Amino acid sequence: MSGPLKGIRVIEMVGLGPCPFAAMMLSDMGAEVIRIDRKAKPGADNPFPMLGTEFDVMARGRRSLALDLKQPEARAVLLDLVAQADALIEGFRPGVMERLGLGPETCLERNPALVYGRITGWGQTGPLAQAAGHDLNYVALSGMLHPMGRPDSPPTPPLNLVGDFGGGAMMVAFGVVCALLEARQSGRGQVVDAAMVDGSALLGAMIYGFKAFGAWSDQRGANMLDGGAHFYDTYTCADGKFVSVGAIEPQFYALLLQLADIHDPEFQSQMEVSCWPSMKKKLAAVFLKKSRQEWCDLMEGTDVCFAPVLDMNEAPLHSHNIARSNFFELGGVMQPAPAPRFSRTTAEVTEPAASPGQHSDAILRDWGIDADRIIQLRQNNVI
């Protein structure tokens, strides 16, 4: 392991979405993250068949220990690991870990310096805390789903990037690292309560500022950054592919008009909102005159603020992504590389996703569980 978090030990209670993404981030940065997988029941249905296979990209870089946490012996083993860990992260509904006898009070009693990271949709408290939900619901409640999409359609789901990963996983990973830094000074751990609705709202800080200033309309598709402006949007090319333009600043906008060979005087009223719909139609017609590659040859690398809209097959093959090593292949699976980058403690991933329980014996040995106990745990069907 290398990376800035080398030497940090983390226990990941395996779940869906944001928790494994946060664990991946910590592992990518060099932390030793042990996945606590559920001991699979024979013949159990798996609604996400990619999980537990080499295609489970978010599981990369970690070893897996499968425990039947309904058994007291399994919980005792986990608490023995907790005693040696720096952090634990979990993404279950509030109360699940407590019912297992593995809640924060129990774990902090075994290890007072432990950082206990909790990621949920609605948070540990509040009237919705116990309700089911998904990324889309949390982003909706934050106010950040309403602005997304075209004015003639309902709000567009932003994949699950805003709630699960931006507002959830990244917030709990950041919170855990913050708490680890504090624990090094105080010697005391704490609980990190990361909610996807909270984090999604925080991601909208700039937009809420625009709104308070009077520079943001509740009408979708009528603002500078939501596709309302002709100079900040995506356009279809002659070959049916797409390009993106973000020419906000006057000098960048002037270069856009120059390279697109636009001389229509209406385009001189860049910030006249009432003219945006008309100019958008005209600009759309301009981009339809050339293929995406022709527009790339003309604008890519200039100050127009331009980029082709690449699909997931194309992105790893783009020259800039190749130069930056933004994608790599591991175990035959193309995937995004760790980010951000460090000048000295380089992050790297050497292990593909493990199958559940693949490293159970090795993990227990490495964390000080004696061989006879491991044999007994196997005999009792605990691991």
pLDDT tens sequence across 201-248: 999 999 999 999 999 999 999 999 999 999 999 999 999 999 999 999
- The H-assigned helical ranges of 68-169 are 72-82, 96-99, 104-110, 135-142
Question: 35 with 105, same domain?
Answer: yes
Owner of token pair 């997304």: 148
Q: Write down the catalytic residue from 37, 56, 86, 164.
A: 164
Same-domain check for residues 338 and 313: no
pLDDT surpasses 70 at 369:
yes
Can you say how many angstroms the Cα of residue 115 is from the centroid of all Cα atoms in its chain? 20
R_g over Cα of the chain: 25
Say what percent of the chain tops pLDDT 90: 94
In a domain, 219, yes or no: no
230 is annotated as an active-site residue? no
Q: How confident is the model at residue 350 (pLDDT cuts 50, 70, 90)?
A: confident
Other beta carbons within 10 Å of 43: 5
Residues 116 and 53 placed together within one structural domain of the fold: yes
Report d(CA 363, CA 356) in Å as an integer: 13
Q: Can you tell me the mean pLDDT for 184-213?
A: 98
**Does pTM surpass 0.85?**
yes
Distance separating the N- and C-terminal Cα atoms of the chain: 26
- Token code pair at residue 9: 């030990």
What is the amino acid identity at position 327?
Answer: F
Domain range for 296: 232-319
Q: Are residues 254 and 296 in the same domain?
A: yes
Give yes or no for a contact between 382 and 68, defined as CB atoms under 8 angstroms apart. Answer: yes
Regarding whether 354 and 256 lie in a shared domain, the answer is no
For residue 42, is pLDDT > 60?
A: no
Q: Does 1 fall in a domain?
A: no
The residue-averaged pLDDT of 43-66 equals 84
Query: Same structural domain for residues 97 and 21?
Result: yes
Tell me, what's the pLDDT at 46?
62
Read off the pLDDT band of 52 (50, 70, 90): confident
Select which of 134, 303, 318, 361 is catalytic.
134
Verify that 172 and 86 share a domain, yes or no: yes
- What CATH number should be reported for the domain holding residue 106? 3.40.50.10540
Under 8 Å between Cβ of 266 and 260: no
Q: Is position 226 within any domain?
A: no
Residue 48 is predicted with a pLDDT of 77
225 is a domain residue? no
Same-domain check for residues 250 and 179 = no
- 253-256 — which CB contacts under 8 Å span 24+ positions? 255/302, 255/303, 255/304, 256/231, 256/299, 256/304, 256/306
Mean pLDDT of all residues belonging to the chain: 95
Final residue of a domain: which of 295, 319, 343?
A: 319
Per-residue pLDDT, averaged over 358-382, amounts to: 95
- Do 106 and 43 fall within a single domain? yes
**Is residue 41 over pLDDT 90?**
no
308: domain CATH number is 3.30.1540.10
Do 39 and 171 share a domain, yes or no? yes
DSSP helix/strand/coil, 254: helix
Beta bridge partners of 12: 35, 89
Checking if the pLDDT of 175 tops 80, the result is yes
The answer to whether residues 298 and 349 belong to one domain is no
Query: Which amino acid, 77?
Result: V
Q: Are residues 294 and 195 in the same domain?
A: no
Determine which of 37-51, 154-168, 295-309, 359-373 has the lowest per-residue pLDDT on average.
37-51
In the residue annotation, 45 being an active-site residue is answered as: no
Q: Which two tokens stand for residue 379?
A: 């005999």
Give the pair of three-digit tokens for residue 170.
Answer: 């990244």
